[in-house]
């Protein structure tokens, strides 16, 4: 690393070692809890063995680990700096006249870089595995749940046309979305932008093809007109298979790189994209959050051992980490209820954590 000395590299190496250890512990706990939970949910089927449940657990785990990654930087960073403190390495650094800022800021920068990697690489992988988890769990639970319908509503559109699709059931086969018992309502916008009903189509099946829906056994009727039957009919679609499946997914299940498209398509269809926008802002704030957790970890671990109170201070740091987590969740809930702006909900907890860490470091290091 250009511009980073041996001391900084050593501290960053210790920090990454602590983060790796915390990640291993948290991952093991997540795997255990998720395995037990899935065993109680899916394991009631006699033909589902432990290997299938473990496969589901491995598919689900990355998305849960992604949520708890900030705690890895907090706990791992505290472990690394406390270790340096107990071995008197921090004492030696300060005796040599080295400021804590010299190795804390590069460590925070490394945490931010890892945050970028988590958003750009881990998030899409976790979202893809989570989608496979949902599909596989639905397949395993199919016989247990019986033939219960999966009522589906999809809305798509552009500047001129709005299409509302209702289906009594859906499935995904080889990456293709198939709807059954389909009703399609077609609206066109007038000069004032208000939708006017134009026609309705009833079909036994709708299959999403590239650029269009392929309808089978169709009955079509315009406003005030008698119905016309046809074996098949195509209607234009602005969705691909992945975008259509995202209509059934929560914002957390959509990959970072697909969120802008999901926002655009959702707003074109006339729906609110607040949930997607909030998720996008939260992901953009992730690198700053990782850096803030790294700084907080250092701020609560630099007190010299001989002065006492290090364990209590570390405990306060852990408690503050949980407080920030619940603050983040609470702010997100307020934003979804349109009580506070989306950007404030995503960035306020992160900036509070960052400023709290910097303030405590200034007090500890510079008096």
CA–CA distance, 350 with 281 (Å, rounded to integer): 11
Average pLDDT in the chain:
81
pLDDT tens digits, 187-212: 887 777 677 888 888 988 888 887 88
pLDDT tens digits, 169-181: 777 666 677 888 8
Asked whether residue 305 carries a pLDDT value surpassing 80, the answer given is no
pLDDT band at 1 (very low <50, low <70, confident <90, very high): very low
3-state secondary structure the chain: CCCCCHHHHHHHHHHHHHHHHHHHHHHHHHHHHHHHHHHHHCCCCCCCCHHHHHHHHHHHHHHHHHHHHHHHHHHHHHHHHHHHHHCCHHHHHHHCCCCCHHHHHHHHHHHHHHHHHHHHHHHHHHHHHHHHHHHHHHHHCHHHHCCCCCCEEEEEECCCEEEEEEEEEEEEECCEEEEEEEEEEEEEECCCCCEEEEEEEEEEEEEEECCEEEEEEEEEEECCCCCEEEEEEEEECCCCHHHHHHCCCCHHHCCHHHHHHHHHHHHHCCCCCHHHHHHHHHHHCHHHHHHHHHHHHHHCCCCCHHHCCHHHHHHHHHHHHHHHHHHHHHHHHHHHCCCCCHHHHHHHHHHHHHHHHHHHHHHHHHC
Q: Which domains, ranges and CATH numbers included, belong to the chain? A: 6-141+276-366 (no CATH), 159-237 (2.60.450.10)
CA–CA distance, 204 with 232 (Å, rounded to integer): 10
CA–CA distance, 113 with 16 (Å, rounded to integer): 12
Average pLDDT over residues 93-111: 82
pLDDT tens digits, 8-66: 888 889 889 999 999 999 999 999 999 888 888 776 665 677 788 888 899 889 988 99
Question: Is the model more confident about 285 or about 360?
Answer: 285
**What count of other Cβ atoms lies within 10 Å of the Cβ of residue 347?**
19
Asked whether residue 290 carries a pLDDT value surpassing 50, the answer given is yes
Asked whether residue 347 carries a pLDDT value surpassing 90, the answer given is yes
CA–CA distance, 285 with 275 (Å, rounded to integer): 15
Please tell me the predicted confidence (pLDDT) of residue 174: 60
CA–CA distance, 15 with 228 (Å, rounded to integer): 70
**What count of other Cβ atoms lies within 10 Å of the Cβ of residue 147?**
7
**Whole-number Cα distances in Å, 44 to 26, 35, 115, 148:** 27, 13, 39, 18
Question: Is the model more confident about 346 or about 171?
Answer: 346
Q: At what angle do helices 50-86 and 310-336 cross, to 10 degrees?
A: 130
């Amino acid at each position: 690393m250009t511009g980073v000395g041996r001391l900084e590299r050593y501290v960053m190496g210790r920090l990454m070692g602590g983060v790796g250890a915390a990640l291993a512990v948290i991952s093991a706990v997540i795997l255990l809890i998720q395995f037990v939970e899935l065993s109680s949910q899916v394991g009631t089927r006699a033909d589902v063995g432990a290997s299938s449940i473990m496969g589901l657990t491995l598919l689900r785990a990355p998305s849960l680990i992604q949520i708890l990654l900030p705690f890895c930087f907090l706990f791992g960073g505290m472990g690394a700096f406390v270790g340096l403190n107990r071995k008197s390495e921090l004492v030696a650094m300060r005796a040599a006249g080295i400021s804590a800022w010299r190795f804390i800021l590069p460590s925070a920068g490394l945490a931010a870089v890892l945050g970028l990697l988590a958003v750009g690489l881990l998030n899409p992988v976790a979202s893809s595995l989570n989608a496979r988890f949902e599909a596989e769990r639905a397949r395993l639970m199919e016989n247990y749940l019986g033939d219960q319908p999966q009522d589906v509503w999809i809305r798509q559109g552009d500047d001129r046309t709005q299409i509302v699709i209702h289906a009594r059931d859906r499935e995904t086969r080889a990456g293709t979305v198939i709807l059954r018992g389909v009703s399609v309502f077609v609206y066109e916008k007038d000069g004032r932008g208000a939708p006017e009903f134009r026609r309705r189509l009833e079909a036994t099946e709708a299959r999403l093809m590239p650029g269009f829906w392929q309808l089978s056994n169709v009955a079509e009727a315009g406003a005030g007109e008698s119905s016309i039957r046809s074996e098949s009919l195509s209607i234009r679609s602005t969705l691909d298979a992945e975008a259509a499946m995202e209509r059934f997914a929560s914002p957390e299940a959509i990959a970072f790189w697909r969120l802008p498209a999901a926002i655009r398509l959702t707003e074109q269809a006339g729906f609110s994209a607040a949930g997607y926008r909030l998720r996008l802002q939260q992901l953009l704030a992730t690198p700053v959050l990782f850096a803030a957790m790294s700084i907080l970890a250092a701020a609560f671990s630099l007190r010299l051992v001989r002065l006492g109170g290090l364990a209590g201070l570390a405990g306060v740091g852990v408690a503050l980490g949980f407080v920030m987590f619940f603050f983040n969740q609470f702010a997100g809930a307020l934003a979804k209820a349109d009580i506070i702006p989306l950007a404030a909900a995503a960035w306020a907890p992160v900036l509070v954590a960052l400023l709290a860490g910097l303030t405590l470091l200034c007090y500890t290091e510079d008096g």
